[in-house]
Amino acid sequence: METSGLHAAPAHAAARGEQKGQLEYRGRGRLASAFFPQARTKVERSNGRFTNDPKCGMLSLMTQAGDERPVSKVIGSRQLTDSTFVLSVERGERQFVAGQHLALGLPGSHESREYSIYSGRMDSPIEFLIKEVDGGLLSKEFAKLRAGDSICMYEPWGAFTLPAPKPGPQKFMFVASGTGIAPFHSFVRTYPGLNYQLLLGVRQGSEAYERDHYDATRFVLCTSRDTQGDCHGRVTDYLKTQPADPNTLYYLCGNYEMIKDVYSLLDAKGVPKDNVRTEVYFYF
Ligand SMILES: Cc1cc2nc3c(=O)[nH]c(=O)nc-3n(C[C@H](O)[C@H](O)[C@H](O)COP(=O)(O)OP(=O)(O)OC[C@H]3O[C@@H](n4cnc5c(N)ncnc54)[C@H](O)[C@@H]3O)c2cc1C
């Protein structure tokens, strides 16, 4: 597989609406609207339009009927590690497909960031697994939110979803780095009996993010900085020791480097490109 052109390719892929078998860039809201064609898709898909909104910054999604609905109430949050928490927000009438993400912002700010939906399709409130990023602008502010606070929550979108109408007996391998586990948590909550293996790569065993929510026989934790995981090292170290199944669908979510490395590894093992789907959270 050629990897040298990956930075350039995703925007074109998104423009063609392609997802399967290639790395697709999903830019943050503020960048996407400026540089990436998928921002147009976002508006078209939701039948909405962007307009000025004094409560939630400059960009606010409005329906065609014009009823504004970006502000929601925070229900609470639960701390999973020193820097990672699950934020619960009132769901209202919002519908989504497991695996989708949406942009969150703060009243009075023009900034927003995208977050995969952590909760299941039928769950209420809606939840997000968020890591406070050192030097980051919004994640640290989201960490301060408490029950009753306001948050701007835009419409869900994205095609990092399981085959419709339901996954059936299809085998899945979910590979996550860090909070990239969020869409997989939503899959598992949404589809009981899902035939999956989940591989989570983190630094330390304390980052096993609600491991008890998954079938223990299907969950493998790789820790790179301690030996508390099922596997010591990166997810690629684990995958190198495993046979690849050309009939399994592989979903990769998290940082770009992990996704690039796993993608190349699967390619070398003969997994068809069409069987690999990706969601990139950040590049560096
Ligand atoms: C489709 C999509 C879904 C996402 N889902 C989630 C999610 O479920 N949970 C979640 O925590 N984040 C998720 N992100 C990342 C999120 O949008 C923000 O980038 C992140 O919270 C940092 O925002 P910030 O404003 O604090 O930092 P910023 O000021 O925006 O960025 C600071 C720097 O941190 C880098 N960065 C971003 N995320 C991380 C990270 N996790 N670890 C280390 N460095 C990072 C950025 O690339 C940037 O260089 C997702 C991103 C995308 C594109």
pLDDT at 54 over 70: no
Q: Is residue 21 part of a domain?
A: no
Q: Tell me the residue range of the domain where 209 lies.
A: 159-282
Give the CATH number, domain containing residue 86.
2.40.30.10
One domain, residues 114 and 180:
no
One domain, residues 149 and 173:
no
One domain, residues 178 and 247:
yes
Ligand 1 atom 15 nearest Cα: 281
Ligand 1 atom closest to the CA of 133, numbered from 1: 26
One domain, residues 135 and 85:
yes
pLDDT at 69 over 70: no
One domain, residues 67 and 102:
yes
Domain count, the chain: 2
DSSP result, 227-247: S-SSEES-HHHHHHTS---TT
pLDDT value of position 68: 55
Which residue from 87, 88, 53, 86 is spatially nearest to 71, judged by alpha carbons? 53
Pocket test for ligand 1, best of 139, 153, 185, 200 (most atoms within 8 A of CB): 139
Task: State how far the alpha carbon of 119 is from the alpha carbons of 1, 92, 213, 270, in Å.
Answer: 34, 14, 11, 33
Greatest C-alpha distance within the chain: 55
Residue 168 pLDDT level (bands cut at 50, 70, 90): confident
C-alpha 86 to ligand 1 mean position (Å): 15
What percentage of the chain carries pLDDT values higher than 70?
A: 76
Give the CATH number, domain containing residue 167.
3.40.50.80
| Mean of pLDDT over the chain | 82
One domain, residues 92 and 173:
no
Instruction: Name all residues whose Cβ lies below 6 A of ligand 1.
Output: 26, 28, 101, 113-116, 128-131, 133, 135-139, 178-179, 182, 279, 281-284
Least confident of 50-59, 72-81, 139-148: 50-59
One domain, residues 141 and 166:
no
One domain, residues 213 and 112:
no
DSSP label of 283: -
Q: 161-183 in b/e burial notation, b at 16+ Cβ within 10 A?
A: bbeeeebeeeebbbbbbbbbbbb
**How far is residue 132's CA from residue 40's CA, in Å, rounded to a whole number?**
29
Ligand 1 atom 36 nearest Cα: 282
**How far is residue 191's CA from residue 100's CA, in Å, rounded to a whole number?**
15
pLDDT at 261 over 90: yes
Give the three-state DSSP class for 47: coil
Q: Is residue 35 part of a domain?
A: yes
Q: Is residue 18 part of a domain?
A: no
One domain, residues 166 and 257:
yes
C-alpha 270 to ligand 1 mean position (Å): 31
Pocket test for ligand 1, best of 281, 283, 284 (most atoms within 8 A of CB): 281
Pocket test for ligand 1, best of 26, 113, 134, 210 (most atoms within 8 A of CB): 113
Mean pLDDT of 92-99: 96
pLDDT at 55 over 90: no
- Between 110 and 223, residue with greater pLDDT: 223
Question: Which two three-digit tokens encode residue 12?
Answer: 């074109």
One domain, residues 149 and 33:
yes
For the chain, helix, strand, coil in percent to 5 are 25, 30, 45
Domain boundary among 98, 129, 153: 153
Residue 165 pLDDT level (bands cut at 50, 70, 90): confident
One domain, residues 146 and 165:
no
Please state whether the predicted TM-score (pTM) of the whole model is above 0.75. Answer: yes
Mean pLDDT of 44-59: 38
| CA 53 distance to own-chain centroid | 26
